[in-house]
């Protein structure tokens, strides 16, 4: 669907190590020096969904196909990025092309891993990154306002948009994120942002990178970052990049046992993928057959014909109706035929809003 999550952070905070673990392959070189990652590494990552496994137990398909997310590992940022320092301009343009920002923040001390700022301070690190994002946004807003000022001489709508841009730039100039603006999501905001794609208007998730001890109990760094995240209505996910990398290559039961020994129920990366999927406003419906049990990715509040188009455009053009069985009904009844016998299959028309986990079959005529 062309939607992606960008991994950002200062150099040497565990960003590329997280990316390696996230993609289950050593696709991003991890090294103990700044700017190890120069070109953004991209990867398509399957979205963990135990429901597919339960469907497969009943259907016994030849293969299982998960929904996926695109992750982009973007070069580490330094102070002055908005003015071109380090790899600043390239860094910022790469972020602008993503929909959600996953900010990896170091929340542990280790003398063997250098920190570009010389000490561990998550809130300072977050401030450095978000200040650069804010400064970049202020610049593009001021440029847009200047162009609108010229148009406003003969266009009243341009006048209103110009004033909005000026007010938003002032709000950001006071150290605020665009996503916290009182008119965020309004028609005026969306009109201004549709091509600007303001960096601070994006959803933000904080990945608190801790050591093994930090997985069991929140340390002072995680507590401070959690407070900041709550104040800004952002998600925080605790992970240990080192542990996540050690999970690479383990079988599912081995990985579960390893996590259990650490006192963890779900890996940090599984949480990142799952919550990132939700932050992008996405969900899955399923098709279940002997060839394949598959999750299809759609936006929330998608109608049945639009959902069908994800499989093939012709399905939408010739849409007649959809056969729908809720996931719970499908599992409880033990499959499609028994669900039909129990009266749990519904025929839905063009106005039906697909629900997360619906098991569907489309009737169409070309």
301-364 under CATH 2.40.10.480, yes or no = no
For range 82-108, the mean pLDDT: 75
The rounded distance, in Å, linking the Cα atoms of 60 and 291 is: 9
Q: Which of 148-152, 243-247, 299-303 has the highest mean pLDDT?
A: 299-303
DSSP 141: H
**Distance of alpha carbon 68 from alpha carbon 72, whole angstroms:** 13
Q: Is the pLDDT of residue 78 over 80?
A: no
- pLDDT exceeds cutoff 60 at 85: no
Residue 3 is predicted with a pLDDT of 80
Compute CA distances 139 → 9, 100, 265, whole Å. Answer: 21, 21, 44
Pick the CATH number of 4-279 from 3.30.390.30, 3.40.50.10700, 3.40.50.300, 3.10.310.10: 3.40.50.300
Q: Is the pLDDT of residue 71 over 60?
A: yes
Task: Please compute the mean of the pLDDT values over residues 88-110 and round it to a whole number.
Answer: 82
- The pLDDT value recorded for residue 87 is 43
Residue 50 scores a pLDDT above 70: yes
pLDDT single digits (tens) 177-189? 999 999 999 999 9
What does the pLDDT average to over 4-12?
87
Closest CA to 68 of 250, 310, 232: 310
Please give the pLDDT value at position 251: 80
Instruction: Summarize pLDDT for 151-182 with one digit per residue, the tens.
Output: 888 887 789 999 999 999 999 999 999 999 99
Write down the pLDDT at residue 80: 56
Q: Is the pLDDT of residue 32 over 50?
A: no
Is residue 301 scored above 60 in pLDDT? yes
4-279 and 301-364: identical CATH topology: no
The model's confidence at residue 63, banded by pLDDT at 50, 70 and 90, is very high
**Does the pLDDT of residue 114 top 80, yes or no?**
no
Q: How far is CA 13 from the centre of its chain?
A: 19
Q: Specify whether the backbone of 197 is left (phi greater than 0), alpha (psi in -120 to 50) or beta.
A: left
CA 267/CA 264 separation, integer angstroms: 7
**pLDDT tens-digit profile of 258-270?**
888 888 888 898 8
pLDDT for position 91? 63
Give the integer Cα–Cα distance in Å for 181 and 172.
Answer: 9
% of the chain at pLDDT higher than 90: 57
Q: Can you tell me the mean pLDDT for 93-99? A: 84
**Where is pLDDT greater, at 157 or 56?**
56
Where do the structural domains in the chain lie, given as residue ranges?
Answer: 4-279, 301-364
Instruction: State the pLDDT at residue 83.
Output: 58
**Cβ within 8 Å of residue 267, ≥6 positions away:** 239, 243, 244, 247, 255, 259
pLDDT recorded at residue 246: 85
**What is the pLDDT averaged over residues 8-36?**
66
pLDDT for 140: 92
pLDDT band at 16 (very low <50, low <70, confident <90, very high): confident
**pTM score, whole prediction:** 0.82
**Residue 210: closest CA among 199, 196, 224:** 224
Q: What is the tens place of the pLDDT at every residue in 218-258? A: 999 999 999 999 998 899 999 998 898 888 878 878 888 98
Specify the residue for token string 């904080």: 206
């Amino acid at each position: 669907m062309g939607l992606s999550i960008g991994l950002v952070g200062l150099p040497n905070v565990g960003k590329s190590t997280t990316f390696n673990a996230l993609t289950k392959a050593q696709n991003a070189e991890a090294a103990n020096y700044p700017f190890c990652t120069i070109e953004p590494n991209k990867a398509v990552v399957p979205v963990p969904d135990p429901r597919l496994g339960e469907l497969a137990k009943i259907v016994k398909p030849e293969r299982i196909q998960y929904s996926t997310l695109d992750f982009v590992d973007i070069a580490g940022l330094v102070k002055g990025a908005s003015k071109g320092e380090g790899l600043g301009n390239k860094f910022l343009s790469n972020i602008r092309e993503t929909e959600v920002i996953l900010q990896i923040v170091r929340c542990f001390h280790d003398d063997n891993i250098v920190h570009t700022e010389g000490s561990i301070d998550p809130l300072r690190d977050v401030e450095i990154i978000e200040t650069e994002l804010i400064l970049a946004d202020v610049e593009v807003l001021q440029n847009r306002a200047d162009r609108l000022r010229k148009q406003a001489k003969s266009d009243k709508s341009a006048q209103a948009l110009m004033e909005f841009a000026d007010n938003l730039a002032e709000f950001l100039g006071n150290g605020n994120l665009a996503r916290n603006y009182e008119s965020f999501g309004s028609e005026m905001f969306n009109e201004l942002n549709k091509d600007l794609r303001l960096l601070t208007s994006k959803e933000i998730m904080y990945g608190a990178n801790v050591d093994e001890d930090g997985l069991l109990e929140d340390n002072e760094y995680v507590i401070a970052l959690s407070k900041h995240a709550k104040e800004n209505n952002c998600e925080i996910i605790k992970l240990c990049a080192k542990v996540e990398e050690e999970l690479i290559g383990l079988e599912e039961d081995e990985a579960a046992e390893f996590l259990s020994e650490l006192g963890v129920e779900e890996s940090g990366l599984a949480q990142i993928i799952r919550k990132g999927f939700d932050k992008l406003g996405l969900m899955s419906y399923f098709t279940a057959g002997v060839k394949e049990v598959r999750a299809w990715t759609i936006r929330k509040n998608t109608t049945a014909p639009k959902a069908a188009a994800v499989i093939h455009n012709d399905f939408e053009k010739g849409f007649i109706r959809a056969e729908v069985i809720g996931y719970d009904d499908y599992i409880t009844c033990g499959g499609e035929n028994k669900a039909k016998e129990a009266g749990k299959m519904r025929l839905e028309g063009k106005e039906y809003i697909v629900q997360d986990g619906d098991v569907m079959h489309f009737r169409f005529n070309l």
